[in-house]
Structure 1
Amino acid sequence: MNNIIKYLYINGCDIKKDEPLKNHTYFRLGGKTPYMIFPKTKEIFINTLKVLKENNINFKIIGGGANLIIKDENLDFLILSTKYLNKINIKNEDVLNYILKERNNEEYKKVEVYAETGIYLSNLVYQLAENNLSGMEFSSGIPGTLGGAIFMNAGAYDGEIKQVISEVEIIDLNDLKIKKINNENMNFSYRRSILQNSNKIALSTILKLEIKEKDFIINKIKQLSEKRWERQPLEYPSAGSIFKRPKEDFYVGTTIEKMGLKGYRIGDAEISEKHAGFIINRGNATFKDVMSLIDYIKEKVRKEYNIILNVEPEIWK
């Protein structure tokens, strides 16, 4: 193992030994990994994946750590981070000024943007706004990275990532080949994509966006940010919405609130007073606290509504 870690460092990776994952997750949960690896470019990331696979080294990939619930005990696998996969390139940048002057020219209303999947959604949205590009405002307050959003087809306020994806560049861990998958073949659905349970890792994507006035885009971002602040417990660590909606007309947060469970705590894990669809970490919540509270809610809903809730974040036991 030491020789492999040395090789990865020499070939462009930052390395952290015995790194606590609670430092890299929104929920502030997660035990130590033997090594956390940060490849500095997409090409180095690909090479690192190949080295780990060819040497049969167990690993998991982490982006922003937004939708993860990780056990407190020490982990027996390495962590590969997408932190430095944050490049974007507006392909039509050289004609953008011309397009803005010709606002009635339908041919140029759409612009393609190349983006690597480690970039945080909040950063991406504002960079797009600076270039008068609209379509991803809905995601401005969604925590985590573009890769995580593609993985689970993240959405909010009537928008979903599938609406702006043209194609996704992936590496298939089954054969270590780089492939491109168009939108139709990504199998996007509610909080799902082909990337789940498939050994396919998203590296980059092509976004299709529309040119609009910068002030219009920024104002929309601000309006949605205000809604989020008023309705979601953004001031506390959490993993976002804790349960998937089991059916179209069943709202989990509203249901939990009707059952009088707002503020219910196990240890330092608490059902948010602001939005009952969130479990928050009041400071020192443990993995056991969170999982016990999840199980408690699931059992209450099952008994009262005969509905089985499924957890939205990934759980690493």
Structure 2
Amino acid sequence: MEAGAGDGARALLRILRDLPGGLRAEELLAPHTTFRIGGRAFALYEPPTEDALAEAVVRARSHGFPWRMLGGGSKLLIPDRGFPGLVLSTAGLRSWHEEGEFLRVGAGVPLARVARRGAWALAGIPGTVGGAVAMNAGTRHGSIAEQVVWVQALLPTGRVHTFSPAECGFTYRDSLFRRLRLPVLAVGLRLQPCQDLAPFLRERAKSQPLGLPSAGCVFRNPPDGRSAGWLIDQCGLKGARIGDAVVSEHHANFICNLGHARASDVLELVDRVQDTVVSEFGVWLKLELEVVGE
């Protein structure tokens, strides 16, 4: 971490030390991501309640510290230099209330648990409900937006607002919450009749490189109907490697960490893939992966 990190970490501890929950200074973020890549944050805070999370955000903002949310750590690339501010984990926000076909869950509830209960189209997607809503996670069978009844999120003023589906601004792998960096606190979902998830999980296991750390699909599918993975494959880029970052031989839209990949390796490989695909097909692949700090 860069010079001055110790001072920043100590300042954050002073600001947040009276809040409930876990607070750790200079926390290494790589173990908190599915990519297993990334440097240290000034501090990582795990609030036990939505009110505590909101208060932490308000305090960080008022003292000029950057902050960001961290759910299951998928679809995320953290720089090697780390994050010079506060990272808020939603791991403690796991409230669960079920009433008939409706479910109210905290942002930190694992998506796999919700899939088992009635969001079967999302089976096999890693991460948490809050992150899934922010990026409108989905598969070819559907997206989470189709089941959202409401979303509670924190406004820049520090006030909690309940958004209707129409207000959420859902688009392909995006939402208002992602675009405006509004922390998702809780979500209301309409459940579908339960189905056997085994076929969906087998389908994902066959089509994706689940044995190596990755962040899931790196690029969004272009609007012309062709998949990003197909375009990358047609360019002969499967197996392309920089350092320990490699384009998967199993699924070309995955970049995997062979063990010691750095964020800089991944970003250089991303550039190579984008440049090659635009040269061969005239299509610029947009990132589905979120690169922290960009």
Matches for 1:148-187 after TM superposition, within 5 Å: 148-173=131-156, 175-187=157-169
Which AA in structure 2 matches 1:17?
A
Specify which of 38, 44, 65 is matched with residue 73 of structure 2: 65
Which ranges in structure 1 are unaligned for 5 or more consecutive residues? 93-110, 129-133
1:122 — aligned with what?
A: 112
Matches for 1:1-317 after TM superposition, within 5 Å: 2=10, 5-6=13-14, 8-92=16-100, 111-126=101-116, 128=117, 134=118, 136-173=119-156, 175-212=157-194, 217=195, 219=196, 221-317=197-293
CA distance in 2, matches of 1:193, 1:153: 6
Preserved contact between residue 18 and residue 35 of structure 1 (Cα < 8 Å): yes
Q: In structure 2, do the counterparts of structure 1 residues 274 and 116 end up closer, same or farther at CA, with 3 Å as the change threshold?
A: same
Q: In structure 2, do the counterparts of structure 1 residues 299 and 200 end up closer, same or farther at CA, with 3 Å as the change threshold?
A: same
**How big is the shift at 1:13?**
2.4
Preserved contact between residue 60 and residue 86 of structure 2 (Cα < 8 Å): no
CA distance in 2, matches of 1:306, 1:55: 45
Q: Residues 150-180 of structure 1: CA distance to partner in whole angstroms, max 9, x if unpaired?
A: 111111032101110011011102x111111
CA distance in 1, matches of 2:94, 2:144: 17
CA distance in 1, matches of 2:216, 2:272: 18
1:37 aligned counterpart, secondary structure = strand
CA distance in 2, matches of 1:247, 1:168: 27
Q: Residues 255-311 of structure 1: CA distance to partner in whole angstroms, max 9, x if unpaired?
A: 211222211111111110111111100111111111111100101101111111111
1:98 — aligned with what?
A: none
Which ranges in structure 2 are unaligned for 5 or more consecutive residues? 1-7
- Number of equivalences: 285
Mean Cα displacement is larger for which, 31-40 or 55-64?
Answer: 55-64
**How big is the shift at 1:6?**
4.5
Preserved contact between residue 12 and residue 43 of structure 2 (Cα < 8 Å): no
Preserved contact between residue 13 and residue 25 of structure 2 (Cα < 8 Å): no
- The normalised TM-score by structure 1 is 0.86
**How big is the shift at 1:7?**
5.8
2:166 aligned counterpart, secondary structure = helix
1:40 aligned counterpart, secondary structure = coil
Preserved contact between residue 172 and residue 199 of structure 1 (Cα < 8 Å): no
1:33 aligned counterpart, secondary structure = strand
CA distance in 2, matches of 1:57, 1:297: 34
Mean Cα displacement is larger for which, 45-54 or 5-14?
Answer: 5-14
CA distance in 2, matches of 1:23, 1:210: 34
CA distance in 2, matches of 1:49, 1:246: 35
